[in-house]
Chain A
Amino acid sequence: MLNLIHNETLKLLRRRRFAVVIGILVAILAIVSYGQYRQLKNQVNRNWRADTQQRIAHFENNLRRANTNASWARSLRAEINRLQFYLDHDIEPNKPTAPMFVRGFANVAGFLLLPLLVSVLGSDIVSAEHAEGTDKLLMTRPVRRWKILTSKLATLWIFSTLTLFSGGVLAFVISSPFLPARGWAAPTFSGFATTGTFRPELVRQLPLWKDALIAYGLEWYALLTVASIALLLSVVFRSSAGAIGTMLASLIAGTILTRLSPDWTAAKYLFVSALPLADYYTGEPPPYDGMTMAFCITLLGVWAIAAIIAAYAIFTRKDVFG
């Protein structure tokens, strides 16, 4: 099995997929951390308390408008509670530091960027073999098909992990020239109410590094799910374009769906709804009622297992034509 994973790793690197992923990460992180740097410069001569109060006032104004839809109103209320909590405890929220930036990356990249990068890695891990005609060699060697697929899944998981890890490390490396590099011990608050009513007893205070580890752990779990689904798409589609396209479409459609039709609650069973685990952990309210952390983790697990079972069933049985 190690030999097979060795092979898959070699092919993935040689196809330059991982290089593309790292390139995209570097480019995006460079732009965003420069933006943070500008923000920091502007903040120097500002009063953060006044700023925060102004933002709360602004949100409350929004809330009073008649046409805010339910899910939007809920997230506004949660945000107001959050900011108020910082004010009450005299802690400056979102003070840009490199560690904060690293922590924020898990949230921001979690629901679109990282899943997308993982599907770039995964979408052609099987379909490219078919497109290049090498599947007929791979599958006529004395190795059972399920072992081949297992090596591909393992490789994909390894590289999904590496993508997340590189994302975190790069976020730090790229932002530290612009932002203060210290502050891993800064207090953070998570577990803000997800129902709109503020429940202070749910708030946990953690040092930033611990909080970041939890967020990255959750994100890692979500990415493994995405990788498993990407594997299935790669088995089903004959071209990587079809596989990437489907993944992209479902990620975007899921995002739009939760914004546009919050009433269609069955959408909470889509894997995309549960994907921003790190966000929900921080206190961003999930778009539908009843989406507790346990629900989201279970949901992603079920999606991953179902995708893996389907991928194996199809891959080990299918007739390989030219």
Chain B
Amino acid sequence: MTSAAPALSAHELTKVIGRRTIVDRVSFDLFPGEVFGFLGPNGAGKTTTIRMLVGLIRPTEGAVTICGHDIRHQFEEAMRCVGCIVETPDLYRFMTGRENLEHFARMLGVKSSETDRVADRVGMLHRLDQRVGTYSLGMRQRLGIAQALLGRPRVMILDEPANGLDPAGIREMRELIRGLAADGMSIFVSSHLLAEIELMCDRVAIIHHGQILRAGTVRNLIASQRAMEFHVGDVDRAGSVFTQRGVAFEKDHDRLFAAIDEADAAPLIAELVRNDVEVFSARPRLQTLEEMFLDATGGESVD
């Protein structure tokens, strides 16, 4: 996958407002057919980064390339490859869904029959002739995605698409996004909902205070956080055994956690047993993305 040219690439994006650095040297590549998660707490700089990706604000430093076009110098060519929702799916409330889609179809110069195709893709055909002002948030999200699909872009940028949706809506949104990726589209999704990112993304980057703290595939990120959990009778004695063998650990009630592989656990258990420590269980503990996220961000939000 990484051998293909990236559909979108951000290079050292930085935004300084006044004295505050809101986004700090953020770089990443988005490859064809992948869903890339951009994870961060409120105020981390996700929306600001997205605004720079689509040319709404000018980066203080850095550049964005979409489908090989620099958005500064080849804005029209670059934007022809992108569909996006920034922050909230705002469309013209005083017009119907169809009129909204036709409005943006005219901007792209695509046929107005495209509106039916994209509306169908998000399951909105039946409400298309009602005013957007009467839509629920979930429907506006879907209409926003329909709009973004006009002109068959190769890249889709969605800012918190699950925001404000009910569980069924979130699930539909996830299936829709995975479906689009299966069609070969590259999708950039920002979220502070870990469960979402974990379920639908191939790769994630964790952003905090405007900086990317970690990035990688979801599996690798989780795997890098592997630990063994020991449930023992006497934690103090077990602790001294660990110390003798030079294994770092953490104590929590009647459990010990050590950052070791499963394979290295067996001799340790044997040693514990030799020292008359009861071992009730020993199991690998996969840290969820959530734990890792809290770990990486220190569990605080900015705002």
| Chain A residues within CB distance 8 Å of chain B | 3-4, 6-7, 10-11, 14-15, 132-134, 136-144, 317, 319-322
- Which residues of chain B have C-beta atoms less than 8 A from A141's C-beta? 79, 104, 107-108
Of B58, B106, B108, most A-chain CB atoms within 10 Å: B106
B57 and A319: CB pair below 8 A? yes
Given the interface contacts A320-B57, A321-B51, does A140 sit within 8 Å of B86 by beta carbon?
A: yes
Cβ contacts under 8 Å, A14 to chain B = 92, 94-95, 99
Residue from A3, A132, A133 within 8 A of B109 (CB atoms): A3
Q: Quick check: is B76 within 8 A (CB to CB) of the other chain?
A: yes
The residues of B that contact A137 with a CB separation of less than 8 Å are: 86, 90-91, 104, 147
A7 touching B47, Cβ below 8 Å: no
Query: B56 in the interface, Cβ–Cβ < 8 Å?
Result: yes
A72 to B54, CA, bound (A): 58
> Which residues of chain B are near A139, meaning CB under 8 Å?
55-56
Interface pair A320/B56, CB less than 8 Å apart: yes
Residues B90 and A140 in contact, CB atoms below 8 Å apart: no
Rounded to whole angstroms, the CA-CA distance of A138 and B80 in the bound complex is 13
Knowing A140-B54, A319-B56 are in contact, say whether A7-B107 is a contact too (CB < 8 A).
yes
* Given A140-B55, A142-B108, 14 new contacts (CB under 8 A): A4-B107, A14-B94, A14-B95, A134-B91, A136-B90, A140-B54, A140-B86, A141-B79, A142-B78, A142-B79, A142-B80, A143-B76, A319-B58, A322-B87
B25-77: which residues lie under 8 A (CB-CB) from chain A? 47, 51, 54-58, 75-77
- CB atoms of B94 and A144 under 8 A apart: no
A-B contact count (CB 8 A): 79
What separation, in Å, do the CA atoms of A143 and B103 have in the docked complex?
Answer: 13
- The residue of chain A having its C-beta at the shortest distance from the C-beta of B95 within the complex is A14
Contacts of A138 in B (CB 8 A): 107
Q: When the two chains form their complex, are residues B104 and A134 in contact, meaning their CB atoms are under 8 A apart?
A: no
A66 to chain B, nearest CB (A): 59
Contacts of A317 in B (CB 8 A): 58
Residues of A within 8 A of B54 (CB): 136, 140
- Report yes or no: A133 in contact with B88, Cβ–Cβ below 8 A: yes
State whether A321 touches B77 (Cβ < 8 A): no
Task: Give chain B interface residues in 132-149, CB to chain A under 8 Å.
Answer: 147
Please, which residues of chain A bring their CB within 8 A of the CB of B91?
134, 137
Instruction: Note all chain B residues with C-beta closer than 8 A to A319.
Output: 51, 56-58
Do A142 and B90 contact each other (CB < 8 Å), given the known contacts A10-B99, A319-B57?
no
Are A10's CB and B103's CB within 8 A? yes
Contacting pair A15 B94 (CB below 8 A): yes
Pair B104/A140 contact, Cβ less than 8 Å: no
B7 to chain A, nearest CB (A): 16
Cα distance A8–B248 when bound, in Å?
67
A-B contact pairs, 13 of them (CB 8 A): A7-B106, A10-B103, A11-B103, A137-B90, A140-B79, A140-B82, A140-B84, A141-B104, A142-B75, A143-B76, A320-B51, A321-B51, A322-B47
* CB-defined contacts of B82 to chain A, threshold 8 Å: 140
Question: Is there a chain A Cβ closer than 8 Å to B214's Cβ?
Answer: no
Contact assessment for B106 and A144 in the assembled complex, using a CB-CB cutoff below 8 Å: no
B219 in the interface (beta carbon within 8 A): no
Neighbouring B residues of A132 by C-beta, 8 Å? 90, 92-93
Q: Which residue of B lies closest to A15 (CB)?
A: B94
Which 8 residue pairs across A and B have the least CB separation, nearest first?
A133-B90, A319-B57, A142-B79, A320-B56, A3-B106, A142-B80, A140-B54, A142-B76
Nearest-Cβ distance from residue A207 to partner chain B, whole angstroms: 45
Distance in Å from the Cβ of A58 to the closest Cβ of chain B? Answer: 53
Task: Give the shortest distance, in Å, between B44 (CB) and chain A (any CB).
Answer: 15
Given contacts A133-B90, A134-B92, A322-B47, contact A143 B107 (CB under 8 A): yes
Asked if residues B75 and A136 are in contact (CB atoms below 8 Å), the reply is no
The winner among A10, A132, A142, A319 for most chain B CB atoms within 10 A is: A142
Distance in Å from the Cβ of A129 to the closest Cβ of chain B? 9
Could you tell me the distance between the alpha carbons of A10 and B108 in the complex, rounded to whole angstroms?
Answer: 17
Q: How far is the CA of A320 from the CA of B108 in the complex (A)?
A: 21
A67 to B271, CA, bound (A): 113
Q: Can you name the residue of chain B whose Cβ is closest to the Cβ of A320?
A: B56
Nearest to B71 among chain A residues (CB) is A140
Which residue of chain A is the closest to B52 with respect to CB atoms? Answer: A319
User: Are the C-beta atoms of A136 and B95 separated by less than 8 Å?
Assistant: no
